[in-house]
Structure 1
Amino acid sequence: MPTRRAVTGRSREPRARFAEELRLLRTARGHSLRQLGDRLGWDWSLFGKMEKGETVGGPEVVQALDTHYGTPGLLLALWELAVSDKTQFKERYRRYMALESEATSLWHFAVSVLPGLLQTPGYARGVLAAGGLKEPELTQQVEARMGRRELLEGADAPPFRTILSEAVLRTPLHDLGEWRSQLEYLAEMGRRDEVTIQVLPFSAGPFGLDSTDVWFLRLTGGRTVAYTENAYRGELIEADGPVERLQRAYDAVRDLALSPAESLKFILRMLEEVRCDPST
C-alpha cells in the first residue's frame, strides 16, 4: 500500500485527501465497489461517489469503513476535516441550489428555523445576523434569500410542502413587528394551492428527524435527492439508499403532524398571541 500522507488540517484539499484514502484502502484489499457495498450493506454507488469526491457520506458509513479496514479513527478524522472545509461546503450548496431551481416538486422539514423559501426579509435578516453575519454580506445574503422565493411564484411553480416543528413557531424574532409580518406571510403562503404547510406539535413526542433540517427535491425523470443541514454544515445526498431512509423518516414525521387546515389554524392562533402581547 502506498505510504499515507499525515492527517493534517493544513491540507489544501481535505475532501480530495479523504477520497484518495478511500480509494487506496479499497484497491489494496482488491475489492470492487459492488463487493464493498455487499459487505457493508450500503448501496455501492455511495462508495463510488465518496471516492470521486462527490459526497463525503455520513459519520455512520465512515465509522463502518474504519472498522472494515481496521483503521480506527483515521477515516473519521479525515471525514471531519472534509466536512469542515468551507470551500467544499459552498460547492455542495451551489450544486444544491442548481438542482432546486430545476426541481419538479420540493418537500422539507424544519427543526428550528423557517425554510428560506417562506422567509420575509425581516426574518431572514434576524436569523442571519444571529448567526454572526455582518454587513455588507448580511444584506447580500438577505437579498439572495429573497430571490429564492421567486421559485414559488408564477403558474409553473413546483409543489412545495414543509413540516415545521412547533419550536419554529415558538421562537420569535426580537422585533415583534417583524415576527408578526412573518407569521402573516406564512399564513398567506399556506393558503396557496401549490404550498402545503404542516405543523408538528410538541405533543407528537420524539421523532426521527429531531436534529436536522432536510430538503427533498424531485428531479426531472423521477430521481429524488436530499440535502441535510444544521448550523455548521450541509450535505447533499444523492445515493438512493440514504435518500430512501431519510424519506421513510420524513413520512413518519408527516404522519404525526397536524393537517394543513389544522396547521393554518395553529399559525393564526400564534399570530393572535403576538398581536395581544402587552409589550407591543
Structure 2
Amino acid sequence: MMMRPALPFASVLVLALLLSPMTHAATKVLGPGENADVGSRSVRVPAGVVAGNIDTGSGSVLLEAGAGTGNIDTGSGGVELAAGASAGNIDTGSGGVRLGNDSSAGRIDTGSGGVRMGDGVRTADIDTGSGGVRGGERVQIAGGVDTGSGSVKLGRGSEVSGKIDTGSGSIQLSGTRVGGDLDSGSGDVELIDSEMRGDLKTTAGNIDLQGATVIGGDLLVRKSRCFGWCWGDDKKTRITIGAGVRVLGQIRAEREVELWVHDSAQIGPVSGAEARRYSAERP
C-alpha cells in the first residue's frame, strides 16, 4: 500500500496562515446573557435572545428582531438593530447606527457615523461628530441631538425633549415637538407643523416656517463670531414665516436679513430687520 507523502512543513505553515484570518473573522453569535469582547470580529445576537455587553475593536454588531443587549462599544464597526430590538448605550468611533422600527437604545455617540431610525424608535441623547441624524415617524428622543456638521431630519409625531444643535447641518422637522432650543449654525432650517418651546437660532442659515408651526421663544439671527471676512458673510439670510405660523417671542436680527411674514402669521416684536408682509402662498 502506497503512503501519500506528507506536506512539507512550509506548506503546512502557509495553509495555517491562510485559514487563520478566516477563522478569526468568523461572526460571534451570542447566547442569553453572554458578553462579547472580540477585537475585530463581528457579533450577531439572534432573534429574541437577550445578551450582555458587546465590545468590538472594528467589528460590526447586528441585533436581530426582538433581540436585546446591554451597552455596545465599537471602534469603527457599524451597529444595526432590527425591528423591536433593544440595546443600552451605543458608542462607535466612526461606525454608523441603524435602528429598525420600534427598536430602542440608550445614549448614542458616534465620532462621525450617521444615525438612521425607523418609525417608533426610542433613544436617549444622540451625539455625532459629523454624521447626520434621520428618523421616521413617532421617534422619541429623551434628550438632545448634537451634530458637528450633520443634518437632522425627523418625521411626524416625533419628539425631542432637549435641544437640537448642528454646527452647519440643515434641520428639517415635520410635525415634531422640541422641548429646548434649536441652533443650526449655518445650516438651513425648515419646520412644518412643528412646535418648539425654546429659541430658534442661526448665524447664516435660511429659515422657513410653515403650517401650524409654533416657536415658543425668540427667533435670533446672530452676527458672525469670527474675525475679519467669514464664509457666508456676504449672503443675506432669508426668513419666511408662513400662513398660520406663530412666533411668540421676539425676532432679532444681528446681521442683514430678508424677513417675509404672511398676513395670517402672528409674531412678536421685531428688531434689526423690516418685516415684509405677503398674502400669497409664497412671497
**Is the TM-score greater than 0.5?**
no
- Higher gyration radius (CA): 2
- Which has the bigger relative contact order, CA under 8 A and spacing at least 6? 1
Could you tell me the TM-score, scaled by structure 2's length? Answer: 0.30
Higher strand share: 2
